[in-house]
Amino acid sequence: MVLLRFILLRLLGGIAMLLAVSALIFFMTEVLPGDVATRILGRNPDPERLAILRATLGIDRPLPLRYLEWISGILQGDFGNSLISGQPVTETLGRRVLNSVLLGALALAIYVPLAVLPAIAQAVNRDGPLDQAISALSLAILSIPDFLLATLVLIGFVVLLPVAPARSIVEASSTWGQALHAMILPAATIALVMATYAMRYLRDSLIEVLQTDYIRMARLNGIPQRVLIWRHAMPNALVPFLNVTALNLTYLFGGVVVIEQVFSFPGFGALMVGALLQLDVPMIQATVLIAAAVYILSNLAVDLATLALNPRLRHVG
């Protein structure tokens, strides 16, 4: 009962936060210099044509009413039309979101073992040569900007060792094999960036758990090291890792624009930045709202995963 109440409260809180973010996004974009009609007609438009277009677009009505109509349209899957292309925002969003979801899924598949396995090796060999070597390597990677790391990966696996294409183009006609081949380099780069952060948190958390009394008692009882790590220590050490992963999911869906640009990948992040540069208000509203939704859902998923890993929290009133 407590668990169901917690889930319900978190869902309601997430919905309320998303509504608050949507209102903030809408009102902030509406106060940008010039309105939609001015951006469509260009500089110094004819006042009569401007008034007619404003009435046609409905932007001559009160702002709260337009916000309610915008939210109503979103609930029906209508984000409006792009000011640049004139096409429905959902048509452009659909393909870009799918590209980013595929890229994110591949990056996460690489990220998890890339973060977990070195962290375990470091925790088991604390302060040893292996621990110090992995720490030095992770610090070196963390000190490299994303664009430079992506460029180094591009040079290494396209120029020196040509195993992947220089441009990660994914089209509607691409097969799964072609898409996977095109996305492997940007996905590996993203996974490497995310894993270096998460690995350090997991290492420290694992070291702390391995020093607890119940782990020491289990070791004295002859439980094998592999079972001790995976069954007893890992579930209790994963909470910080999951929190970092939640932030990484948001990074996956909007913060990888630099990496997308280096590999020419048509993803969600590049679409968001392009909309901001072109002041395409309907596209800005849609992309920022989706990024906020990903962040809120990621944190909700982490809370539920934390409850699953630590049953004692389920009974906390």
* Sequential DSSP letters for 71-127: HHHHHTT---B-TTT-SBHHHHHHHHHHHHHHHHHHHHHHHHHHHHHHHHHHHHTTT
* One-letter amino acid of 120: I
Domains and CATH numbers, the chain: 2-75 (no CATH), 89-315 (1.10.3720.10)
What is the spatial distance between Cα 202 and Cα 115, in angstroms, rounded to a whole number? 8
* pLDDT value for 28: 82
Q: Which residue has the higher pLDDT, 282 or 83?
A: 282
pLDDT 10s digits, 209-247 = 888 888 888 888 888 888 888 888 888 888 888 888 887
pLDDT 10s digits, 169-180 = 777 677 778 888
- Is pLDDT above 80 for 128? yes
* pLDDT value for 117: 93
pLDDT 10s digits, 27-41 = 887 766 555 666 666
Closest by Cα among 103, 101, 262 to 181: 103
Cα 223 to Cα 117, 138, 187, 231, 243: the distances in Å are: 20, 31, 37, 11, 29
Cα 285 to Cα 90, 250, 270, 290, 296: the distances in Å are: 12, 17, 15, 9, 16
Other beta carbons less than 10 A from residue 45's beta carbon: 15
- Is pLDDT above 90 for 116? yes
Q: Which residue has the higher pLDDT, 189 or 28?
A: 189
Q: What tokens appear for 303 in the block?
A: 């809370």
For the chain, how are helix, strand and coil distributed in percent, rounded to 5? 80, 0, 20
* pLDDT value for 317: 46
Angle at alpha carbon of residue 220, lines to 217 and 225, rounded to 5°: 95
What is the spatial distance between Cα 49 and Cα 43, in angstroms, rounded to a whole number? 13
* Sequential DSSP letters for 208-251: HHHTSHHHHHHHHTT--HHHIIIIIIHHHHHHHHHHHHHHHHHI
**% of the chain at pLDDT higher than 70:** 88
- Is pLDDT above 90 for 114? yes
